[in-house]
Amino acid sequence: MKLITKTVMLFIAVLTTTLVTAQDKKPASPPATATGKINGANITINYSSPFVKGRVIWGELVPYGKVWRAGANKPTTFETDKALMVEGKELPAGKYAVYVIPEKESATVIFGKDPTIGFNNYDESKDQIRVTVKTKKSAKMNESLIYTINKDNVTLIWENLDIPVKIK
């Protein structure tokens, strides 16, 4: 009888530990959404937000000169219900995949026509527009990647870098 009681107690302890551990697990790059308005256009950016976790991001995890999906997991998407001027180039209303090609002091931001294509299948012929922007040092270290929608720009912020894109 004592053996059965000890076995049942051990089973309950293992089951409880497993359930608690399963509930504590958070995705490595949780989904996130940024929403806002610029010049009357409703903008929604859906992305997965990776964390720095002590790594060097720019130039290492995200190499310079290579296309990056501007987030993690699924493609980052940018949706607008009205046409916008992005760094002086027209972006029609619609939903786009967002890619970035980072460099040391600038970045090329790409709005792709097909929002379902990840960077592993990136095809330059499906670009809607490309713009080059000057990057800047962040005011503070940012552990997780975030997008902000401001009155005249959208900014990708991660680690120690801001990638602002002017929008009218």
Q: What are the contacts of 145-149 at 24+ separation with CB within 8 A? A: 145/47, 145/49, 145/50, 145/51, 145/71, 145/72, 146/32, 146/34, 146/49, 147/32, 147/34, 147/45, 147/47, 148/34, 149/34, 149/35, 149/36, 149/37, 149/38, 149/43, 149/45
52-85 per-position pLDDT tens digit: 999 999 999 999 999 999 999 999 999 999 999 9
2-16 per-position pLDDT tens digit: 656 555 444 454 444
143-153 per-position pLDDT tens digit: 999 999 999 99
pTM for the structure as a whole: 0.84
When pLDDT is cut at 50, 70 and 90, the band that residue 121 belongs to is confident
